[in-house]
């Protein structure tokens, strides 16, 4: 009579270990390459479309550290988006965690390109911005390894920012991209008293230039939260996916605090407002989505 195999004692051992190690190495290489592509592609496209003023062609004193903070945000996006993508074929969380360092290292490839494109005004501390972005993105990537929906939330928010900027360009406008937001002077919404003396510098004007885009991004965050909550039947996952994008953008300003001057300081205030407004919107959207998900199951 044959004896059933016991997984605890009949362990193939070395063969599976070698296969697992090989798969881990392949996943790490793919993660590093994809993260590098994401960071370099955003920097290259942003420079080609003149969405970033890293070349110093404009008044660097007025823009403050905005181009460097934008670079930091682009670098921070790459690791979590990478981990979310590879989660499609790396199902185990512990295996995804092993690929996070490779995704962080891949971001560093953007440093030489940033130095080549930057003007004299922004050469200082470019390397540190790339490294800080890689570390910040790595922290979010660790969370993504456990909850891939986090990375997809970051990806959706970043894609929304890029799509709005592309739309503005197609309509003949001149968008100015900041970390997590876009300012379009041609889409300015005049709000009585907003640009008055009660606001320091150009803060009121920046809010007016960014208001339409802010509304679009906030609505999209709410829709994303609803879609995720409906699909996962979990309101907190939906809310997390919806708010993580604006929250990551806000964090890039906070970790880059010594460059919060000029237009970058105005963008920081706008990023804080976006996150504060997105939080209740995503919670409501996620709640509605979760209810719809439950109703869909009940109707089957």
- Give the closest residue to 230 by CA, choosing from 291, 151, 279: 291
- Give the closest residue to 270 by CA, choosing from 206, 219, 192, 186: 206
- Tokens coding 100: 């996070």
- Do the Cβ atoms of 253 and 260 come closer than 8 Å? yes
Q: Which residue has the higher pLDDT, 54 or 12?
A: 54
- Give the closest residue to 105 by CA, choosing from 44, 31, 24, 54: 31
**Mapping DSSP to helix (H, G, I), strand (E, B) and coil, where does residue 183 land?**
strand
Q: Does the pLDDT of residue 5 top 80, yes or no?
A: no
Q: Give the other-Cβ count within 10 Å of 41's Cβ.
A: 13
pLDDT of residue 67: 86
Q: Give the other-Cβ count within 10 Å of 87's Cβ.
A: 21
pLDDT of residue 1: 40
Mean pLDDT, residues 217-226: 95
pLDDT of residue 274: 95
Rounded Cα–Cα distance for residues 259 and 282 (Å): 30
- Each residue's pLDDT tens digit, 229-248: 998 888 899 999 999 999 99
pLDDT of residue 84: 95
The pTM of this model reads 0.88
- Do the Cβ atoms of 267 and 206 come closer than 8 Å? yes
- Each residue's pLDDT tens digit, 89-101: 888 888 899 999 9
Q: What percent of the chain has pLDDT over 90?
A: 54
- Each residue's pLDDT tens digit, 199-215: 555 777 778 888 999 99
Bridge partner list, 181: 178
Q: What percent of the chain has pLDDT over 70?
A: 81
- Each residue's pLDDT tens digit, 121-134: 666 667 788 999 99
Q: Does the pLDDT of residue 13 top 90, yes or no?
A: no
Q: Does the pLDDT of residue 60 top 70, yes or no?
A: no
């Amino acid at each position: 009579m044959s004896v059933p195999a016991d997984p605890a004692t009949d362990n193939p051992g070395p063969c599976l270990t070698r296969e697992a190690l090989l798969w881990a190495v392949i996943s790490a290489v793919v993660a590093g390459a994809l993260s590098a592509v994401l960071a370099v592609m955003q920097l290259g496209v942003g420079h080609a479309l003149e969405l970033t003023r890293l070349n110093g062609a404009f008044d660097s004193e007025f823009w403050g550290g905005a181009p460097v903070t934008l670079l930091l945000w682009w670098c921070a996006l790459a690791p979590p988006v990478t981990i979310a993508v590879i989660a499609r074929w790396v199902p185990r969380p512990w295996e995804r965690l092993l690929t996070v360092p490779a995704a962080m290292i891949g971001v560093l490839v953007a440093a030489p390109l940033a130095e080549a494109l930057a003007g004299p005004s922004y050469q200082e501390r470019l390397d540190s911005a790339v490294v800080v972005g890689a570390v910040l993105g790595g922290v979010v990537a660790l969370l993504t390894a456990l909850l891939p929906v986090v990375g997809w939330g970051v990806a959706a928010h970043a894609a929304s920012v890029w799509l709005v900027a592309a739309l503005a360009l197609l309509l003949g406008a001149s968008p100015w991209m900041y970390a997590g937001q876009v300012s379009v002077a041609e889409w300015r919404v005049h709000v009585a008293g907003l640009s008055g003396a009660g606001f320091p510098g150009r803060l009121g004007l920046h809010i007016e230039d960014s208001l339409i885009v802010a509304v679009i991004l906030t609505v999209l965050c709410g829709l994303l939260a609803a879609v995720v909550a409906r699909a996962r039947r979990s309101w907190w996952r939906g809310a997390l996916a919806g708010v993580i994008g604006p929250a990551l953008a806000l964090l890039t300003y906070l970790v880059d605090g010594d460059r919060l001057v000029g237009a970058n300081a105005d963008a920081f205030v706008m990023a804080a407002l976006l996150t504060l407004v997105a939080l209740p919107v995503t919670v409501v959207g996620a709640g509605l989505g979760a209810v719809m998900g439950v109703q869909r199951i009940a109707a089957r």
